[in-house]
Amino acid sequence: MARTQLFGRIRLAIANARAALPHAPPPAPRAISRRSALLLMTAAAACTPMRKSEPGTPGAVAIIGGGTAGLTTAWRLANAGIACEIFESSGRTGGRMFTLRDFTPEGHFCELGGELVDSNHTDLIKLCGELGLPIQRLHPEGSGMSDLFDVGGKPRLAGDLLDPTAQTGPFLPVAARIAADQAALLDADDNWTARAIELDQTPLSQYLESLASSTERWVIDLLALAYHAEYGIPIDQQSSLNLVDLIGADSGKGFEMFGDSDEAHRIQGGNGTLPETLLKRLTVAPLADRVRVNLRHELANIAHDGSGFHLTFNNETNPQVERTFERVVLTLPFTRLREVKGLGGLGLSADKMKAINELGYGVNAKLMVGTTSRPWTQQLLGINSPLTGTIYSDRGFGVVWDTSAGQEGAGGVLTNFITGAAAKTEESAVLATLESSLASLSPNLAAALNTRVRASFFWPNHPHTKASYAGPLVGQYTKFAEFAAQPELGNTMFFAGEHTSAESMGFMNGAVQSGERVSKEVLAAG
């Protein structure tokens, strides 16, 4: 899914505030990244060699799921001479990277799924470079453009959060608390500390309220809005580590990765270009004889014995397609995997089964509406400052942004990122909320909407995902996140997908990163 730009702005504000603190603990890699790296290295060391398939032998490795994680896995394995077969339950590949082209009369595209690319999403950026796909910056660097924060009835800009030059702003005391808690998450052996366990068991809502006395109320409300939108999970159900462990940075780079370019990019021509290009490359010479792609094949049952994995798929033309493979890579979301019959009888580790059955997932949807103009590029609400078109509000619509940024034309596309119960309703209901709440904020902005041009995607209602993306609930951060990626059954069953990426859970980069990781695991197992 998209992930919100406010999340990046908050990371930047906290990072800058930490840098301004004279006695702040030094920045360090995220604790979850260090823990997962330790466990995955242990798992890799335990890999036992297996027979490699000959190039061109179909079905050597089964890849369940034809999203970006599955396609990346197939790309690496096929280029290494390993044959693989992809089984995708829907009628298209690409998963939650899904571009709708020629959306408006002017030819603008919009993103039904993942939309924003961080400057530190190196796995995705590197793969795009390898495939010759340019990364586009949405707004000119140093333009001085700001998002609009409409919280508590008063519009504010990014500078109201923090002035890094003057070292003032209501985020400074927030940063001091988070910096101290972050430094206490791991011991010298990279094991979770008692403080980390305590924070994991603390709902984010409670943690935010503990900060209220040290800052202004609107800051707490903005954080609450950001995290509910970002994860698609009510903040009283989220682990406080979703905030505390977010802002780590490599000590050698300081906070470069959280600069003002954060979440300011996309793949030129639409993010769907990446999975589309991967599919095209996989299905032509020289890789076509090593890769087979099966659409509308939904995994219904899985069994395992000495001869391998016995997979049963539901298919429109043949309800019971049965195949056997020595190795399998599962990239489908845990929301779908937990419904597959036979999973409980495979002998998977208790930690893996608990993660599969209980890992939290967000409830997010998207509504895209065409606009006859881009009033946010002009003076809006009397604010004499250039705006990005991104607005965060407690009036009801939550978050909107300008998807037409970087696309030519007088008109535009406004995307509404929907969270909570509204994300499980229907288009007409969320459109009505958007129109009325925008009108109360800015009649000029509401008047620019061309509601005849609209599209939506309700991921929680989509049968092949049943959610937007993964997000740890209270108590899950230190228990589930690090087990999601580990191989099982003697390194014959592997796991990929954004939900298995410690560093980029929920991001498009997580899909690519997990595909890169799991392909190396398969090759290491032999």
Q: Are residues 184 and 201 in the same domain?
A: yes
Q: Are residues 293 and 261 in the same domain?
A: no
> What share of the chain in percent tops pLDDT 70?
85
Lowest mean pLDDT among 58-62, 80-84, 150-154: 58-62
The SS3 of residue 20 is helix
Q: Which domain holds residue 233?
A: 8-37+164-265
What would the mean pLDDT of 56-65 be, rounded to a whole number? 74
Is residue 352 in some structural domain?
Answer: yes
- CATH code, 287: 3.50.50.60
Is residue 180 in some structural domain?
Answer: yes
What would the mean pLDDT of 227-256 be, rounded to a whole number? 74
- Per-residue pLDDT reduced to its tens digit, 370-424: 999 999 988 788 888 888 899 999 999 999 999 999 999 999 999 999 999 999 9
Domain end residue (candidates: 199, 234, 265): 265
Sheet with 387-393, edge to edge strand ranges: 154-156, 146-151, 387-393, 399-402, 412-419, 364-371, 449-458
Is residue 507 in some structural domain?
Answer: yes
- Per-residue pLDDT reduced to its tens digit, 32-52: 766 666 555 555 555 444 444
Q: Are residues 226 and 254 in the same domain?
A: yes
What is the structure's pLDDT at 18? Answer: 62
**Residue 366: Cβ within 10 Å count:** 25
The H helix count followed by the E strand count for the chain is: 15, 19
What would the mean pLDDT of 309-335 be, rounded to a whole number? 94
Helix (H) or strand (E) holding 129: helix 122-131
Domain end residue (candidates: 208, 230, 265): 265
433: nearest Cα among 456, 466, 464, 467 = 456
Q: Are residues 249 and 171 in the same domain?
A: yes
Q: Give the separation between CA 152 and CA 218, rounded to whole angstroms.
A: 6
Is residue 271 scored above 80 in pLDDT? yes
Domain end residue (candidates: 237, 265, 293): 265
pTM > 0.85: yes or no: yes
What would the mean pLDDT of 2-12 be, rounded to a whole number? 63
pLDDT-derived band at 5 (thresholds 50, 70, 90) equals: low
Which tokens is 384 given? 């004499």
Is residue 402 in some structural domain?
Answer: no
Is residue 332 in some structural domain?
Answer: yes
Q: Are residues 88 and 233 in the same domain?
A: no
Is residue 165 scored above 80 in pLDDT? no
Lowest mean pLDDT among 179-183, 246-250, 463-467, 490-494: 246-250
What would the mean pLDDT of 427-442 be, rounded to a whole number? 97
Is residue 183 in some structural domain?
Answer: yes
Is residue 248 in some structural domain?
Answer: yes
What would the mean pLDDT of 130-149 be, rounded to a whole number? 86
Structural domain total, the chain: 2
Q: Give the separation between CA 23 and CA 176, rounded to whole angstroms.
A: 9
Q: Are residues 260 and 170 in the same domain?
A: yes
